[in-house]
Amino acid sequence: MNERKPLRAMLFLLPAIALCLPTLPTSAQRSSKDLTLESIGKENPFEVVKPIVKAKEDLVPGIFKSAGGQSVVEVIPDMYMQTVMLKFLEAASVEPVASNLLSAYGKISIDSDTNSIIICDTPEKLQMIVAEINKIDKTPQQVMIEVVMVDVKLQDDTEIGVNWEHVTGRGNTESYTQSLAATLATSSGMDFSFLHDGIDVTVHALQEIRDIEILASPKVMVLSGQQATIQTIEEIPYIELSDSTEGAAQLTTTEFKEVGVLLTVNVLVTDEQKIKLTVSPEQSVNTGRFGQSNSDVPIIDIRRASTTLIMDDGQAVVLGGLRRRDLKKSIDKIPLLGDLPLIGFLFSNDKIETEHTELVVFLSPHIYKGQPLTEREMEQFNELKNSPPPEFQKHKRPEFEVLKDVFGLINGAANISP
């Protein structure tokens, strides 16, 4: 009896011993030696513990999935998050650049209200992206652009334009020509020349030998990387008819066509303190109406071109070559006799003259050497740039002419005064 008790006790403990032993690896686990896990043999089943523990230390988290009967480990690195508040640049403009620097697991988003970028990525990538953002988020330079737009009357249609060597009195004027597509068939390409003298000297010299009309002479301050727009616009009203129901009168609305001078300049200051300018001048003129009634649409004649230049600080350039042809009707008559009814035409003469003009744009950029903008000033600039343009009351032509005469008197008095 005593010999059977130890045998029964051993049989009773066998299930408990089996639960304590590790489970033997399956065939899928054995095939995992092609990956990073070590092969598992029958002689040492505990080898499976070491590689799994090591993987859990390196991966956060470790994801195991089956693919073709094999165990696959997808490595997901540690991810960190950082918020970068931009001082001068806009978050929306920096987001595409920062997105190209992200890793495969990185994410990026922006907060327009605080002008911030939220970046989630590995520590190495996060440090690199933040460093690159800080490099470009610097105080932008300011450029003052001096512009004079002039309409020069040419002597005849065979004249090719203004000879700037004769205007400035210099025979060694550096001159470069770039052919641009013009809008009108009667216009030529655009020419540009770099001037040794300043804009004021050149314009005054041109006034001595030519009949010119100064269309606009503004000075604007613009940040590097931004666009400046200069426009002098007149609105021409016309009546637009719209269809109505059968038997009812047509509906009429007053619409406006804009004519005048428009100049768009994109400015970029390079590391060598050179100024890259993309200049797009445009002039539109009302040449008549299509039809005979007041409801006819005005005919707008447009001269437009665009070019890109690299200039030094303070260098002056003149853009020309946009020509236009106008037909003007004039009447020469003998005083009093030419106004007589029925026979007045015997003492008068009607003639049509063709006038050729050329649009000339003088432009000189100057890098502002004053104190750079503060963060608060940059915030105010962004608010003004993103705000909608103000609405002004539309003026008819008579009011425009009155204002034009008033400003002409003011400018004349300012020029006469010592």
Task: Encode pLDDT of 37-95 as tens digits.
Answer: 444 444 444 444 434 333 334 444 444 454 455 556 667 788 899 999 998 888 898 99
Predicted pLDDT of residue 177: 36
Q: Which CATH architecture has domain 80-136?
A: 2-Layer Sandwich (3.30)
CA dist., res. 88 & res. 138, Å (int): 7
pTM for the complete prediction? 0.55
Q: In sequence order, what DSSP letters do the residues of 114-151 get, joined into one string?
A: TTEEEEEE-HHHHHHHHHHHHHH-SPPPEEEEEEEEEE
Domain ranges of the chain: 80-136, 140-165+189-242+251-384
Strands, E assignment, 243-297: 251-269, 275-289
Q: Does residue 267 register a pLDDT over 90?
A: yes
Calculate the average pLDDT of the chain: 70
Q: In sequence order, what DSSP letters do the residues of 374-386 get, joined into one string?
A: PHHHHHHHHHHHH
The structure tokens listed for 87 are 């001082």
Q: What are phi and psi of 22, to 5 degrees?
A: -70, 150
Percent of the chain predicted with pLDDT > 90: 10
* 393 DSSP assignment: -
- Paired sense of beta strands 142-153 and 211-216, if any: antiparallel
Predicted pLDDT of residue 221: 87
Residue 211 parent element (H or E): strand 211-216
Percent of the chain predicted with pLDDT > 70: 58
Residue 297 CA from chain centroid, whole number: 32
333-390 pLDDT, tens digit per residue, is 888 877 888 887 777 887 777 777 888 888 899 888 766 666 676 676 666 666 664 4
Least confident of 4-8, 79-83, 115-119, 237-241: 4-8
